[in-house]
Amino acid sequence: MAASILRSYEEQRDWILSAITAFEPEAHDLAGGFAHLHGLYLAQDVHTAHPLPLWANSAMDGYAVRSLDTLGAPVELEVVGVVPAGSSEDPRLLPGQTVRIMTGAPLPTDADAVVKVEDTNGFDAHRARINVEISAGKNVRMRGEDRDAGALVARAGEQLTAARLSAAAAAGAVRLSVRRSPKVAVLVTGAELKAPGQDLGRGQIPESNSLLISGLLVESGITAATVKHCVDEPETVRQVLAELASTHDAVISTGGVGPGEYDVMRQVLADEPGVQSVRVRLRPGAPQCAGRMQAGAMIFALPGNPVSAAVGFELFARPALRAMQGAAELARPALRSQAVLGWKSPADRLQVLPVVFDENFGCAPAVKASQISHSVGGFGSAQGYALIPQGIERVEPGDSVEVIRLQP
């Protein structure tokens, strides 16, 4: 690994993404269910195998009628049958006749409209009093009105949400081509860290980064395959990294990436030619080590301060993990918000400030702008990040700022 390099956020992001290759597509038969596919990314477009709806059907519980028979309503029609949902019956309707019909049931060929039961005297086995005139097509879902056969319902690179899975099933898909979720290890270093609940001596703090990074992975649709804590001893870290890099697609570590003599992660990764030690023009989270390890995995070695680690995950690790899955959109969408309060920003770097939003989507700092990296208490309430570009020394109340939203 070369000596520390100075880069902009965009340069570091692009360098990392240039090392990523999307996983090979895998075909999954839907006969076994959809649950295992939820959250994966499509590797191929999905088109309808048939029109949606497949046939004209009733949008209401009521009576299927010939619309001409409702002229001059109220009128009485002869009830000659019933068509429940799922029925294949197609009863004949002569002038003056109707059938009871349920929501989703196929519309009889001779009918062209449905009168909802609320506009009648209720369900009757023999006679129906129709109280309103209706036009052809009323309360009917026409064949193909949602999508024609062969129409696009989901694109390659889109995530399989509940709605997209439902649409694919309704469209008649029998197999989906997807890319698997990456196998990710979380490695936490730091001699000062103690497990929650342990007694704390002078210089010791509770370890929270394993919860932070594992949680951020879950919120990104990925469950950490392995979570390890490691002492700050170079040979031990080297052995743990070698094991994780050979059995995982990515390793995300926190701590030990600074220039100090005790920053063990940076020292160990110096032996990796595909990994670079970088100082990003970024606050918080300037020191980073990233790249592809010789054993195969991508490494994202993030700072130990929790907010710095979270920012590094959001800006670098999360987009890279999505690129592995073939996601079309790698970053969260950027939105515009109005600053409710003012704050200072370092003019020589990108500021990524945790913020909260008010009812009008105005934003205010969740932590002190001068103390971002370690303010884990205030960070707990953060709903997004304000992105203040280089060259801006202060944000004033009322200024329009770019934000990314983390929570609904």
Tokens for 145?
């009105």
Is 334 in a helix, a strand, or coil? Answer: strand
Residue range 45-76, pLDDT digits in tens:
999 999 999 999 999 999 999 999 999 999 99
Tokens for 97?
């006749």
pTM value > 0.85 = yes
- Are the CB atoms for 384 and 407 separated by under 8 Å? yes
Dist CA 101 CA 70 (whole Å): 16
Q: What is the DSSP letter of 172?
A: T
CA dihedral (317, 375, 362, 9) in degrees, to 10, reads -30
Query: Where do the domains of the chain lie, and which CATH numbers do they carry?
Result: 5-22+181-324 (3.40.980.10), 26-50+160-179 (no CATH), 57-141 (2.170.190.11), 334-405 (2.40.340.10)
Dist CA 39 CA 36 (whole Å): 8
Q: Which residues of 28-37 are buried (b: 16+ CB within 10 A; e: fewer)?
A: beeeeebeeb
Long-range contacts of 376-382 (CB under 8 A, 24+ apart): 376/208, 376/306, 376/307, 378/354, 379/306, 379/307, 379/310, 379/354, 381/356, 382/354, 382/355, 382/356, 382/406
pLDDT in tens, the chain (408 residues): 445 699 999 999 999 999 999 999 999 988 776 778 999 999 999 999 999 999 999 999 999 999 999 999 999 999 999 999 999 999 999 999 999 999 999 999 999 999 999 999 988 889 999 999 999 999 999 999 999 999 999 999 999 999 999 999 999 998 999 999 999 999 988 656 556 665 556 655 566 889 899 999 999 999 999 999 888 889 999 999 999 999 999 999 998 898 887 789 999 999 999 999 999 999 999 999 999 999 999 999 999 899 999 999 999 999 999 999 999 999 999 999 999 999 999 999 999 999 999 999 999 999 887 666 556 667 888 999 999 999 999 999 999 999 999 976
Residue 173 CB neighbour total at 10 angstroms: 17
Reply yes or no: is the peptide bond before residue 408 cis, omega within 30 of 0: no
The owner of tokens 């046939």 is 55
In whole angstroms, how far apart are CA 338 and each of 351, 355, 363? 16, 11, 6
Residue range 213-253, pLDDT digits in tens:
999 999 999 999 999 988 888 999 999 999 999 999 999 99
Residues 327, 331, 334, 340: is their CA dihedral positive or negative?
Answer: positive
In whole angstroms, how far apart are CA 90 and each of 3, 79, 230? 78, 14, 71
Q: Which of these, 248, 245, 265, lies nearest to 312 by C-alpha position?
A: 265
Give me the DSSP letters along 125-141: SSEEEE-S---TTTTEE
Dist CA 166 CA 218 (whole Å): 22
Question: Where are the alpha helices (H) located in 127-272, listed in sequence order?
Answer: 162-170, 209-219, 234-247, 264-269
Dist CA 167 CA 67 (whole Å): 32
Is 368 in a helix, a strand, or coil? Answer: coil
> How many residues make up the chain in this entry?
408
Reply yes or no: is the peptide bond before residue 234 cis, omega within 30 of 0: no
In whole angstroms, how far apart are CA 97 and each of 122, 124, 243, 265? 16, 13, 77, 82
- Are the CB atoms for 132 and 117 separated by under 8 Å? no
Which amino acid makes up residue 184?
V
Q: Which of these, 256, 295, 294, 297, lies nearest to 277 by C-alpha position?
A: 256
As beta bridge partners, residue 179 has: 41
CA dihedral (293, 295, 298, 301) in degrees, to 10, reads -60
Give me the DSSP letters along 311-326: HHIIIIIHHHHHHHTT
**Beta strand 184-189 pairing with 250-254:** parallel
Reply yes or no: is the peptide bond before residue 196 cis, omega within 30 of 0: no
- Are the CB atoms for 196 and 206 separated by under 8 Å? yes
Q: Which of these, 407, 169, 187, 166, lies nearest to 301 by C-alpha position?
A: 187
Residues 396, 398, 404, 408: is their CA dihedral positive or negative?
Answer: positive
Tokens for 160?
């399989």
